[in-house]
Each structure stands twice: as C-alpha cells, then as structure tokens.
Amino acid sequence: MSVTLSGTPRNAVVTHKPGDHMTGLTPVSPHKAELLPLVETVLSWDLNRGSLPEVDVSLDLVKAFTAYGRVLEGDLAAVCRRLPADSDLRRGTQATLSEAARRLYMPPPVGSERGAAQRAQNLARLIQALLRGTGSAAPAPTDEATE
C-alpha cells in the first residue's frame, strides 16, 4: 500500500511504501540528507485543516526523527562539554539538550492521527534546534532591514 502526502508550499510529495527505508528502521539512523527534506515536509503540514497524514506515516517519521535526534543529541553534548561552564552559549545548549532528553525518550504516540502528526512536528523542530546547536544547520537568514 502506498500513502502519498502532499500540500507543502511547493506541492512537494513524499511517498511512503511498505518496505522502504522508513518502515524497517535499523539502529543506524538515517542520513541528514534523507531527513532534512522530510523535516521540511512535516513542518509544512497544517494540522488544523483536517487533512492529516495517516498514523503509520507519522509514526514512521517519529521513529526516524527520534533515531536521528539521538545522534544529534550526542553531538551537541560533545559541543556543550567544550564550552566554558559560565557562558550563555552553554546555558542555551544545555536547555536544548534538556528538551532533547525529554522528547527523544518519550514512548511513541498511540491512537490519533493528530497526536502522531503533532509528535512528528515537535521532533522536526527539535532536530532543527539540535542542528543549530551543533553548528551543522544552514545559517539563519539575516533580516536585511536590521543590517
């Protein structure tokens, strides 16, 4: 069975098929290049419009984001250890790590399409924060009006 998600701003489509890399996850996390487009797709979902992805699709994404998030959490912890103990940057990094520790070890959501989709979106935002913290995210766009 194939499930197709659409509705991103650019009308991008993500297709999920049983047996593909999203259903049979191994302990090895997906690569950044595979996940970043999925993060963007999940963040484009409008959960208030009633067109929600199927539960299985959201749960597969939750698993993938959780596995990748745990890798990023380890990377960010290593960055944090190198920062001065009294720096604002370290405090911010520790706050992100605390949020990761809370969200990445929650049991998978059960039941509703909305709950699974919301968890996928929350993990997608967490991945973005972890990438920013490790310095491996694209730089944030600058506001030309403030330059």
The DSSP code for 16 is E
Helix H or strand E segment including 5: strand 3-5
Least reliable range by pLDDT among 11-15, 86-90, 135-139? 11-15
Q: What does the pLDDT look like over 97-129, one tens digit per residue?
A: 999 999 999 988 887 899 999 999 999 999 999
Q: What is the pLDDT of residue 141?
A: 44
Whole-model pTM: value is 0.71
Q: What is the pLDDT of residue 48?
A: 87
Q: What is the pLDDT of residue 72?
A: 94
Tell me the C-alpha distance between 142 and 72, whole Å: 25
Q: What does the pLDDT look like over 18-29, one tens digit per residue?
A: 433 343 333 445
Residue 34 pLDDT grade (very low, low, confident, very high; cuts 50, 70, 90) = confident
Domain boundaries, the chain: 3-137
Q: What is the mean pLDDT of the chain?
A: 77
Tell me the C-alpha distance between 32 and 130, whole Å: 12
**Residue labelled with tokens 């484009």:** 44
Q: What is the pLDDT of residue 14?
A: 43
